[in-house]
């Protein structure tokens, strides 16, 4: 892990959560500023940015996509996504500026690598309520279009809150019964999928552990378990794609979830940099 990666991640979160702040359709200028910042970062990384635009109650909403074409199997796609909007009342440093920051740096780290299959990185709009579980959710709009194009998405990874870690005892909570099988300290990154994506989950997690020493855990579960389907991976499950979420476990760990206190200084950027570097190495390995 390099200091420059840590600094880049912190800068992205600072711009999104501190300078721009709340970003949603009820603050359209802030939502547009976040979109513009993400696009500018990707352009500076020498990507061609594709925009998927739609409107909600007269507000322009945009998904942003870049891709690194595979050399051997360009038609096969691994997609990495993170939503850049927030709930009302929260600056969203962990939820989800942290996920966007990691996605931007994964795109940068993969930019000059030789990949076997194609990797797409997508910034999704409108993940948070009232869009969640609706057709206006940015990832739902994207996944429907991908299915209509017959995109061969082999796997989707949703980056959902990657910055909050704690080594304190009993800092990690779980749904009923799971606490007997997982650590009580919130010092790991989680990989979560539905049952249909369980084999992909095992493969991704095994590769991550081979590429990175940062602590990690995995869970394949029915979506009815609270939190398992609460991000953009759900949109891809509904379109028949295999998908999983990478997360610090959100409200099971972070007491600032969806609150005004979800701010920059709460995040552990050293851990976040380790996770981001590990994910980039994992993705590169998975393409071959």
Could you report the per-residue pLDDT of 233-278, keeping only the tens digit for each? Answer: 999 999 999 999 999 999 999 999 999 999 999 999 999 999 999 9
Cβ neighbours, 10 Å, residue 179? 14
- Mean pLDDT for the stretch of residues 61-84: 98
**DSSP letters along 238-272, please?**
HTT--EEEEES-GGGT-TTTTSTT--GGGS-HHHH
Strand 117-124 versus strand 73-83 pairing type: parallel
Cα dihedral 201, 205, 206, 212 in deg (nearest 10): 160
Q: What pLDDT score was predicted for residue 179?
A: 87
Can you give the CATH number for the domain in which 87 is found?
3.40.630.10
Domain span including residue 144: 3-286
Could you report the per-residue pLDDT of 28-41, keeping only the tens digit for each? Answer: 999 999 999 999 99
Model confidence at 227, in pLDDT bands (50, 70, 90)?
very high
Q: To the nearest 5 percent, what fractions of the chain are helix, strand and coil?
A: 40, 20, 40
Could you report the per-residue pLDDT of 86-145, keeping only the tens digit for each? Answer: 999 999 999 999 999 999 999 999 999 999 999 999 999 999 999 998 999 999 999 999
The helix (H) or strand (E) run that includes residue 234 is: helix 233-238
Q: Domain count of the chain?
A: 1
Residue partners of 93: CB distance under 8 A and separation at least 6: 13, 16, 17, 18, 163, 262, 263, 264, 266, 267
Q: Which two tokens stand for residue 24?
A: 């949603």
Cβ neighbours, 10 Å, residue 204? 24
CA distance 1 to 201: 24
pTM for the whole structure: 0.97
Does 1 score more than 80 pLDDT? no
């Amino acid at each position: 892990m390099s200091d420059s990666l840590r600094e880049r991640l912190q800068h992205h979160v600072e711009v999104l959560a501190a300078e721009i702040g709340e970003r949603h359709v009820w603050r359209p200028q802030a939502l547009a500023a976040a979109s513009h910042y993400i696009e500018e970062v990707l352009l500076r990384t020498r990507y061609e940015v594709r925009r998927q635009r739609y409107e909600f109650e007269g507000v322009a909403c945009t998904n942003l996509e870049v891709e690194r074409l595979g050399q051997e199997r360009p038609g096969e796609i691994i997609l990495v996504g993170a939503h850049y909007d927030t709930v009302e009342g929260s600056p969203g440093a962990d939820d989800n500026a942290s996920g966007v920051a990691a996605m931007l740096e994964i795109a940068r780290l993969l930019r000059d690598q030789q990949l076997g299959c194609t990797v797409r990185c997508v910034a999704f709009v409108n993940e948070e309520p009232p869009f969640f579980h609706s057709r206006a959710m940015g990832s739902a709009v994207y996944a429907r279009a991908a299915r209509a194009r017959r995109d061969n998405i082999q796997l989707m990874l949703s980056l959902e809150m990657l910055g909050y870690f704690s080594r304190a005892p009993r800092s990690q909570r779980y749904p009923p019964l799971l606490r007997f099988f997982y650590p009580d300290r919130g010092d790991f990154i989680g990989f979560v999928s539905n049952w249909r994506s369980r084999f992909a989950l095992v493969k991704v997690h095994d590769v991550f552990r081979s590429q990175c020493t940062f602590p990690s855990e995995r869970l394949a579960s029915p979506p009815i378990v609270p939190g398992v389907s609460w991000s953009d991976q759900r949109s891809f499950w509904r379109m028949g794609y295999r998908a999983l979420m990478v997360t610090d476990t959100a409200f099971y760990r972070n007491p600032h979830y969806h609150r005004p206190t979800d701010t920059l200084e709460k995040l552990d950027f050293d851990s976040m940099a380790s996770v981001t570097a590990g994910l980039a190495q994992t993705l590169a390995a998975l393409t071959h």
